[in-house]
Structure 1
Amino acid sequence: MLRVGVIGTGMIGQDHIRRMTSVLAGVTVTAVADVNVDTAAAVGSSVGARVHESGESLILDPSVDAVVVCSWGPTHEQYVLASIAAGKPVFCEKPLATTAEACLRIVEAETAHGRRLVQVGYMRRYDTSYRALKAVLDTGQLGAPLMMHCAHRNPSVPGFYEKEMAITDTAVHEIDMVRWMFGEEITAVRVLTPRRSGNGGDLQDPLLLLFEMADGVLVDVETSVNIRYGYDIRGEIVGENGTAALGSLSPVRVRLGGQAADPVPVDWRERFLGAYDVEFQEWIDALRLDGRPVGPSAWDGYAAAVVSDAGVAALRTGERVEVALAEKPKLYDVEVPA
């Protein structure tokens, strides 16, 4: 049984605790910590977990085999580095850290340790539809991939959402997904600003991002974060011989009153609920097998941060911005893709 400690008992932390205590197999939650001690105490008591006053204390708890970090983004670096120092596997919700420099420090620490310990929470890789799309691509039946069209649409976003977040918080999922989908790095980014939606107030929304992949594939990503009708994720690959796209938004099609409709998910939790379950079960299984994760790595978290920074620069300048990555350590050369 894998004994897990969870740092951060807010919405996503509580959801992962629910997942590990009532849905998944081979895992138990033995410890929790949160800056809000009362919340941590309530969550901990509900699952019989020990409550720690700090994330560092939780990491050093001998009853914790592996750590899940769901705390505020700026704290991720310290908890991931502390987990590496303790030699404990750590699952970190995105972002791996809030700057590319901090992500690189994590990469360097893990490389010095000499064994993979870190997995980053990019759940698109575990979604049934995305996996089916990649399976079609990998057969070669489409021929060489040429382009991919993506859309990431939200009904609304909170008031603190800023235009850069359309890249760093929203499109970052597509950034990781296309690197995994094509097995290539993104080498340059452009950002176009269409006519502004009246639903977003002063926010520049939508945006159109254009990624250049190392093999010449072009990927466009539309981010529309105040589109009102629902949470809508789309993706289509254009190959030499044909195309392949993500399936329907809903497993059910309703015909009623002279209309046919596919219900649209209301938010990311509804759309990717199954992906989160698969993501965590595979993480648990990998750690129980040989103690190391095989999903999105610290390098993937670092690369996503560098591409995001390039996207923000492209948004601000209107220019094409090249992506400059550090040399990839050999530790990450052989990875088992999710």
Structure 2
Amino acid sequence: MTDRTLGVAVIGTGMMGADHVRRIDRVISGARVTAVVDIDEERADALAATTEGCTAYTDHAAAMADPAVDAVLIASPGPAHEAALLDALARDLPVLCEKPLTPDAESALRVLEAEQKLGRRRIQVGWMRRFDSEYLRLRALLESGELGRPLLLHCRHRNVRVHDYFTDEMLITDAVAHEIDCTRWLLDQEITAVRVLRPVPSSGAPEGLSDPQLVLFETDGGAVVNVEMFATCGFGYQVQAEAVCEGGTARIGEGHGLMTNTAGRWGGEITQDFIARFADAYDREVQSWVDAARRGETTGPSAWDGYAVAAVCEAGVRAQVSGERVEVSLAERPALYR
């Protein structure tokens, strides 16, 4: 495969799927979009028309059977992921699956079982922050041991607004899920317990949404992590993290780019959405996946990482409801993912 272009089927033609089609077609190298899939036939046809040699499908299995398809990128809603993943594994196709791997731990374990039967990894989960330059530098610094053992991790995750249908549960499963993965990756530790605290809701939050929330994690390495989740802050999109270690601290996400001085004020811009903030990370993520797939390999976040996040999310949702500390239950980690 290293001597030819990788043909990719993109499943799901919403915001993320369309952005990945653009990315593969115009930004990265070594791949081309040969199929797009969506249950909305008109939307799939419209997106396919923007890419030469691309065929539109309404069924993912039909797209995977296309001889021009060598790999699959899943950007459909979470509940549809399991079926697509299992079909891709049955065909031994490399997969980049946008988060979540699946919406719950039970279905994620079924995917793990299917992948293990192949005897090799085929799934990379789309935790794009692992490809962000600032997160990579923080990870390297913590790995080096220069600052000593990590004791605390302070995280902030702020959105301008969310849809009216957004729920408390989605604050964990759709948003804090990223901090769950980052905690595990940055600290190289598993999360063992979760607690959720709720201040008075913001007046800017949709009716019935308890926003913001403070989510607390404990890890098996003895670290404590706090996540400020503010989905309706109103002023911008911010993702920040500060590691507090025995010998110093390190902070990322300040966003100090262009600064201006005018009319008696100084300041800069705040990114308004995650696609803009993590554009470079998405590019590196997909390029890395394509390069590995062309070599016949799978790298990056694994299906185990997707399962572990799902398990912590389930504990987090229970903690939201109960207001109590909830322990995380993880299956034994299979040898394939060690």
**TM-score in terms of structure 1 length:** 0.96
Residue deviations 1:305-327 (CA, integer Å, cap 9, x gap): 00000000011001111111111
Instruction: Give 2:39's aligned amino acid.
Output: V
Instruction: Give 2:302's aligned amino acid.
Output: S
| Alignment counterpart, residue 103 of structure 1, candidates 78, 86, 108 | 108
User: Residue in 2 aligned with 1:238?
Assistant: 244
User: Residue in 2 aligned with 1:320?
Assistant: 325
User: Residue in 2 aligned with 1:47?
Assistant: 51
User: Counterparts of 1:169 and 1:157 in 2: how far apart (Å)?
Assistant: 11
User: Residue in 2 aligned with 1:202?
Assistant: 208
Any unmatched runs of 5+ in structure 2?
Answer: none
| Alignment counterpart, residue 335 of structure 2, candidates 326, 330, 337 | 330
Instruction: Give 2:303's aligned amino acid.
Output: A
Instruction: Give 2:270's aligned amino acid.
Output: V
Shift, 1:85, TM fit: 0.5
User: Counterparts of 2:104 and 2:140 in 1: how far apart (Å)?
Assistant: 33
User: Residue in 2 aligned with 1:82?
Assistant: 87
Residue deviations 1:194-239 (CA, integer Å, cap 9, x gap): 1221111331111101101110010000000111110011100000
| Alignment counterpart, residue 160 of structure 1, candidates 155, 165, 184 | 165
Instruction: Give 2:62's aligned amino acid.
Output: S
User: Counterparts of 1:260 and 1:287 in 2: how far apart (Å)?
Assistant: 47
User: Residue in 2 aligned with 1:56?
Assistant: 61
| Alignment counterpart, residue 269 of structure 1, candidates 271, 275, 285 | 275
> 216-225 vs 243-252, which deviates more?
243-252
User: Residue in 2 aligned with 1:70?
Assistant: 75
Shift, 1:247, TM fit: 4.4
Pair 94,272 (structure 1): closer, same or farther in 2 beyond 3 Å: same
8 Å CA contact 1:7, 1:70 repeated in 2? yes
Shift, 1:276, TM fit: 0.3
Residue 17 (str. 1) matches residue 16 (str. 2): no
User: Counterparts of 2:161 and 2:14 in 1: how far apart (Å)?
Assistant: 21
**TM-score in terms of structure 2 length:** 0.96
Cα RMSD (Å): 1.0
8 Å CA contact 1:148, 1:235 repeated in 2? yes
User: Residue in 2 aligned with 1:224?
Assistant: 230
> 303-312 vs 70-79, which deviates more?
70-79
> 37-46 vs 149-158, which deviates more?
37-46
Instruction: Give 1:257's aligned amino acid.
Output: A
Any unmatched runs of 5+ in structure 1?
Answer: 334-338
Shift, 1:250, TM fit: 3.8
Residue deviations 1:128-159 (CA, integer Å, cap 9, x gap): 11111112212211111100000000111000
8 Å CA contact 2:240, 2:254 repeated in 1? no
User: Counterparts of 2:179 and 2:253 in 1: how far apart (Å)?
Assistant: 17
Residue deviations 1:10-62 (CA, integer Å, cap 9, x gap): 11111000000000011111111110111111111210201223101111222
Between the two proteins, what is the percent identity of the paired residues? 47
- The DSSP-based 3-state class of the residue aligned with 1:150 is strand
Instruction: Give 2:61's aligned amino acid.
Output: E
- The DSSP-based 3-state class of the residue aligned with 1:199 is coil
User: Counterparts of 1:3 and 1:170 in 2: how far apart (Å)?
Assistant: 31
User: Counterparts of 2:261 and 2:276 in 1: how far apart (Å)?
Assistant: 22
When the two structures are aligned, how many residues end up with a matched partner? 332
Residue deviations 1:68-113 (CA, integer Å, cap 9, x gap): 1111221110000100011101111111111111111000100111
Residue deviations 1:267-292 (CA, integer Å, cap 9, x gap): 11111111100100111111112x22
8 Å CA contact 1:250, 1:264 repeated in 2? no
